[in-house]
């Protein structure tokens, strides 16, 4: 167990940031009760609560996920939902299933509560002094509560990820299995396996890769659908989709949606900013993304050169960060990166920046800049029609930048630490003692 003393600044700053998360979620609950729908920055369609779970379950029971729905989910997602939902509720359509399938609603909330407990034990194992505050941020923060509101399988992916790469499970083979399960839930987590190569953990890499393949083959055989050809085809189709609606940038992890909206659509704020500013955004935002990607790759090279100087959790974080900022997967996928940020020590400018940015990203609230209009919508949580406000908010512009700044800052920390090590000890191609935090 690692026990650390709090610095004077950290004695009040992390509790304050955790309190802001609590205050924001309390406001959201009040808003739901008083106004009747889930407010921004949560999903804009008030009738669609939990529907990621029920949409996927419909195809799990009826089939056609890869040919009709053109999903990029691997077969394991559908196999899991066959077990966690009631098949007789899906004989018609998914909205009727939501009113019928008590097992589905119960299972997603049990997983959510289990994740809170698991998060606390992971953070307490890493650093008892900050465990409560960081657990509050992760458990009540925007990424996890957004995933719950959507009913997204990220809830279960998060569970597998913590068990695979957190400090709780001792058996390497069991950790390999959880790693394979996590990748088969969200394929872009495959980078976490290759992070093991940067640490020269060859056996870990091989074991995780074998587990991933075996989980895929077993789930594919059980479902009877989801061949590699189908998945690759659907991934290509998905990556070619153009984004033109402001709603597509509602909660994004990157600037890809905003860049395409500014370039291809009549975004209301364009007239306010002016064409010159828009042109600077269109070429400047991708440049920022490429700069972050290049910095992460340099940090990966530094990790390979001096693996004993880089904690395993950071190597995993950088690999996941590279995947998430390269392909837009939605803001709530930050859930898969932030736990590894909260495993960092409160020391140095780069680490402190990353931790504070992680807290801010967890605050489930927004600052509204310009209205898009008020519309009559059906709300699932209140069971009635509501007047829903749609606004351009600061988070649309701020969250992707804050998110990308985290792997950027920790990449710079990694490069600096390795350069200092090389300057002091020279190049060492043999790996020293491995860090597992």
The residue ranges of every structural domain in the chain are 10-425
Q: Is the pLDDT of residue 281 over 90?
A: no
pLDDT for the residue numbered 264: 64
User: Element (H or E) spanning 172, and its range?
Assistant: helix 172-185
- Reported as a single tens digit per residue, the pLDDT across 49-85 is 999 999 999 999 999 999 999 999 999 999 999 999 9
Using an 8 Å Cβ cutoff, are 48 and 124 in contact? no
Residue-wise pLDDT tens digits, 365-385: 999 888 878 889 999 999 999
Question: Could you say which DSSP state residue 1 is in?
Answer: -
Position 301 pLDDT exceeds 60: yes
Q: Shortest CA distance to 17 belongs to which of 331, 403, 365? A: 365
Report the pLDDT averaged over residues 232-237: 86
At how many degrees (to 10) do helices 312-326 and 154-165 cross? 150
Dump the DSSP string for 331-360. Answer: GGGGGGTHHHHTTS-S-HHHHHHHHHHHHH
How far from 396 is each of 182, 286, 322, 358, 402, CA to CA, in Å? 28, 16, 20, 16, 11
Tokens 């049990």 correspond to: 110
Residue 232 burial (C-beta neighbours within 10 Å; 0-12, 13-18, 19+):
exposed
Q: How confident is the model at residue 292, as a pLDDT?
A: 96
What is the band of 238 on the pLDDT scale with cuts at 50, 70, 90?
A: confident
Q: What DSSP designation does 381 have?
A: T
pLDDT-based confidence at 241, cuts 50/70/90? low
Phi, psi of 371 (to 5 degrees): -80, 145
Tell me what the mean pLDDT of segment 248-253 comes to.
Answer: 82
More confident residue, 235 or 105: 105
How do residues 12-58 score in pLDDT, each as one tens digit? 899 999 999 999 999 999 999 999 999 999 998 999 999 999 999 99
Confidence at 347, pLDDT banded by 50, 70, 90: very high
pLDDT the model gives residue 265: 60
Predicted model pTM: 0.92
Cβ(66)–Cβ(234) below 8 Å:
yes
Comparison of pLDDT for 274 and 185, the residue scoring more:
185
- Supply the pLDDT for residue 433: 43
Chain mean position to CA 327: 12
pLDDT in the model for residue 427: 74
Read off the DSSP letter of residue 41. Answer: T
* Contact residues for 43 (Cβ-Cβ < 8 A; gap 6+): 49, 146, 149, 150, 250, 251
- For residue 39, give the DSSP letter: P
Task: Name the pLDDT band for 436 (thresholds 50, 70, 90).
Answer: very low
Which pLDDT score, from 0 to 100, does residue 1 have? Answer: 40
User: Residues of the chain with pLDDT > 70: what percent?
Assistant: 90
Q: Please tell me what DSSP assigns to residue 383.
A: T
Which secondary-structure segment (H or E) carries 379?
A: strand 368-379
CB 160 within 8 A of CB 177: no
Of 15-19, 169-173, 390-394, the range with the lowest mean pLDDT is 390-394
Quick one: which of 256, 248, 39 has its CA closest to 142?
A: 39
The per-residue pLDDT for 431 is 46
Given this model, what pLDDT does residue 4 score? 52
Q: Distance between CA atoms of 56 and 42, rounded to whole angstroms?
A: 20
Neighbour-count burial of 77, counting CB atoms closer than 10 A to its CB (0-12 exposed, 13-18 middle, 19+ buried): buried
- 406 or 241, which is more confident? 406
The Cα–Cα gap between 405 and 419 comes to 21
Residue 173 C-beta-side C-alpha neighbours within 13 Å: 0
pLDDT digits (tens, 9 = 90+) for 99-123: 899 999 999 999 999 999 999 999 9
Going by pLDDT thresholds of 50, 70 and 90, the confidence category of residue 223 is very high
Is residue 426 left, alpha or beta, with left meaning phi > 0 and alpha meaning psi from -120 to 50? left
């Amino acid at each position: 167990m690692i026990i650390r003393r709090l610095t004077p600044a950290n004695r009040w700053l992390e509790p304050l940031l955790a309190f802001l998360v609590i205050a924001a979620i309390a406001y959201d609950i009040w808003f739901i009760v008083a106004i009747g729908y889930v407010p921004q920055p949560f999903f804009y369609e008030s009738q669609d609560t939990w529907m990621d779970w029920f949409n996927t379950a419909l195809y799990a029971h009826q089939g056609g996920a890869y040919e009709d729905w053109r999903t990029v989910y691997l077969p394991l997602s559908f196999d899991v939902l066959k077990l966690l939902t009631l098949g007789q509720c899906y004989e018609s359509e998914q909205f009727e299933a939501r009113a019928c399938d008590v097992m589905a609603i119960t299972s997603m909330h049990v997983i959510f509560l289990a994740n809170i407990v698991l998060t606390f034990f992971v953070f307490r194992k890493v650093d008892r002094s900050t465990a409560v505050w960081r657990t509050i941020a992760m458990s009540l923060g925007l990424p996890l509560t957004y995933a719950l509101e959507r009913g997204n399988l990220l809830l279960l992916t998060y569970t597998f990820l913590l068990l695979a790469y957190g400090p709780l499970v001792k058996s390497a083979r069991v950790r390999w299995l959880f790693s394979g399960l996590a990748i088969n839930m969200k394929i872009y987590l495959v980078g976490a396996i290759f992070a093991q190569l940067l640490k020269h953990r060859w056996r870990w890499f091989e074991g995780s890769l074998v587990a991933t393949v075996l989980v895929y083959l077993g789930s594919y055989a059980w479902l009877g659908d989801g061949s590699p050809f189908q998945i690759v085809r659907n991934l290509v189709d998905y990556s070619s989709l153009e984004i033109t609606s402001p709603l597509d940038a509602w909660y994004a992890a990157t600037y890809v949606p905003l860049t395409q909206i500014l370039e291809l659509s009549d975004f209301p704020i364009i007239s306010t900013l002016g064409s010159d500013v828009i042109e600077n955004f269109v070429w400047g935002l991708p440049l920022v993304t490429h700069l972050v990607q290049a910095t992460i790759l340099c940090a990966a090279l530094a990790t390979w050169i001096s693996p004993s100087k880089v904690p395993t959790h950071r190597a995993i974080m950088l690999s996941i960060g590279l995947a998430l900022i390269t392909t837009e997967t939605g803001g709530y996928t930050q859930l898969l990166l932030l736990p590894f940020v909260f495993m960092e020590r409160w020391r140095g400018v780069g680490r402190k920046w990353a931790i504070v940015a992680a807290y801010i990203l967890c605050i489930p609230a927004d600052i509204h800049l310009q209205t898009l209009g008020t519309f009559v919508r059906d709300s699932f949580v209140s069971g009635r029609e509501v007047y829903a406000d749609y606004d351009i908010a600061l988070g649309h512009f701020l969250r992707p930048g804050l998110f990308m700044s985290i792997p950027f800052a920790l990449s710079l920390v990694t490069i600096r630490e390795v350069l200092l090590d090389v300057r002091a000890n020279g190049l060492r191609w043999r790996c020293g003692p491995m860090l597992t935090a």
